[in-house]
Amino acid sequence: MVAFARRRVVVSFLRVVWVLIIVWYEYGIFISNARGCSWPDTGLLAETNETTNARPQHVLLVADPQIVDQHSYPSRGPLGSYLTRLIVDLNLRKNWQAALHKRPDVVVFLGDMMDNGRLDVPDDEYEQLFTRFSNIFRLDPSIPQYFIPGNHDTGLGKSTTFSPHAFSRYVSHFGPTNVEISVANHTLVLFDAPGYANEDSKRHGAKKAFTSWIPIQGGSLEYMKKFASDKHKDPVILFTHIPLYRPDGKNCGPLREKGTLRPGVGHGYQNTLEKQSSLRLLEAFKPVAIFSGDDHDYCEYTHQLRPSFGPPINILETTVKSISMVMNVRKPGFQLLSLAPADLRLNDGLSYADTLCLLPDQLRIYLNIYLPLLAISIVIVFLSNLNRGKRRGHSKGPSDAHLLLSTSKVEGDDDDDDTELNPYSSSSSQGLPPPISSINQKSPRSSRSAGWFVIQAPGREAEGADGAPCECVQNALHLFWPGRTRSAPHRRGWFGSSIRDVRDIAVFPLGLFVVITWWVSMR
């Protein structure tokens, strides 16, 4: 019984450990990471007038959610692809809930909302993909959200796999491209970089100079020229999916995970805009800051604009991390942007500030937390049952299945009383069991007998004076074998007991995992 109690302690302990681990790594760590970063108002307000009641406006920047579908990982097969979608969607939901924990005033998605929005797929399949995106990134209708197209949304370059309706489908679901909005006396330019790169490629293909090229009606180049011809008094912040050009090998800063952002072009992508195209963007918009996506990793680079008159102007571009766990970054992230209204600014003071928020490394949680803990838990369970099995092997005495408790012996009983209580005693005729009627007959001293261990044949129940099974026997058995039925306990081998313990441990964390998943999905 000591071994049994010790085993139950092990099972209960591992249950508690797993429940705490699941609660923390499936929800707590995400909220903790979100609380670990704050809106960069402090640095902004340090150079502003604090006597006014106005406050900075908060803009949440989300890059490259790129929700995957059955076309994303064809080599994994139907089952592997399905499991990948489930895991990635769950991670995106938790990351999004952590981002919403910051309570933004405005949300801007920096492109590549869906991994294969540009593919030539039926409309109903596109609708299903868009519905998944909308369900994952649910937002209070009172909070405005804006989107800029990415190369995975509308396509970049020519390909037979790209849908000719990719652009129109994007506009009908996510809104128009090349728009400007005003937030806290700032002009936020939401620029269609893939369209700009496509048009620039067409111009090169036609071998026409930039000055002689007639912009496509409603295109990015036409919008850029029109914006440059207008006067804008508010600071301009440019949002583009494709980063602007920078020389190869330039450092991206300490917050990048690995490597650097290098110019390059391939099937359906372009790492940076071309050098002259980037320069024209800087000259047309004259932004105070640039935020881009596409690269999936964090990068900071300072562009230099040399006007005709005056000193060079330094313009910082920040490439925002992807919010997804499968974009070749171990720690996803999002960007917090604070914008100071005009009445908060001092002369030549900062009007904006931004900061990076990192999210948990989901792959590390699975590989470095769950898997090792699972292996350790299984080893502990098997060892506890193996030791119990060894102790049983050394125990002596009759089998438990043949021992039943009857009543307790009272002081003063003689040894001869055994012959009265045992129907198989030597006093029985020819060693055969007496008739039932003789067993049911009360002995003059039977009322004083209580507590003997009576060895009885298997399958035969101890009976009371009226022929009914003795309830005290069943209660005594239940006391010695808790959790079992009132019948004689069934012995399991150490392996079977181990499997049962693993099941008993797993049911609680797995149930909690399902509950947390459901709760996050419903929020």
Confidence at residue 521, expressed as pLDDT on a 0 to 100 scale: 74
Contact 61, 335 (CB under 8 A): yes
Average pLDDT over residues 171-192: 96
pLDDT confidence band for 465 (50 / 70 / 90): very low
Flag the least confident range among 47-51, 121-125, 167-171: 47-51
Q: What is the percent of the chain where pLDDT is above 90?
A: 56
pLDDT in tens, 214-263: 999 999 999 999 999 998 889 999 999 999 999 988 899 999 999 999 99
The pLDDT mean for the chain works out to 81
Read off the DSSP letter of residue 222. H
Confidence at residue 458, expressed as pLDDT on a 0 to 100 scale: 43
Confidence at residue 393, expressed as pLDDT on a 0 to 100 scale: 52
CATH 3.60.21 residue window(s) in the chain: 58-85+100-360
Contact 244, 289 (CB under 8 A): no
User: How many degrees, rounded to 5, is the angle at CA 337 between CA 334 and CA 338?
Assistant: 150
Distance from C-alpha of 511 to C-alpha of 513, rounded to nearest angstrom: 5
Flag the least confident range among 210-224, 261-275, 301-315, 405-419: 405-419
Closest alpha carbon to 239 in 318, 340, 300: 318
Residue 404 pLDDT exceeds 80:
no
pLDDT confidence band for 502 (50 / 70 / 90): confident
Helices 2-23 and 494-522: crossing angle in degrees, nearest 10, is: 20
| C-alpha to C-alpha distances, 413 to 403, 407, 410, 448, 452, nearest whole angstrom | 21, 13, 6, 8, 11
Confidence at residue 5, expressed as pLDDT on a 0 to 100 scale: 73
Confidence at residue 10, expressed as pLDDT on a 0 to 100 scale: 86
pLDDT in tens, 418-439: 444 444 444 444 444 555 444 4
Confidence at residue 99, expressed as pLDDT on a 0 to 100 scale: 96
User: 58-85+100-360, what's its fold?
Assistant: Purple Acid Phosphatase; chain A, domain 2 (3.60.21)
Distance from C-alpha of 260 to C-alpha of 254, rounded to nearest angstrom: 11
Helix residue spans in 286-396 (DSSP H): 362-364, 371-394
Phi/psi class of residue 45: alpha, beta or left (left: φ > 0; alpha: ψ in -120 to 50)? alpha
Residues near 325 by beta carbon (within 8 Å), at least 6 away in sequence? 88, 91, 92, 95, 332, 362, 363
Confidence at residue 231, expressed as pLDDT on a 0 to 100 scale: 87
Confidence at residue 467, expressed as pLDDT on a 0 to 100 scale: 47
Residue 286 pLDDT exceeds 80:
yes
pLDDT confidence band for 389 (50 / 70 / 90): low
Confidence at residue 1, expressed as pLDDT on a 0 to 100 scale: 57
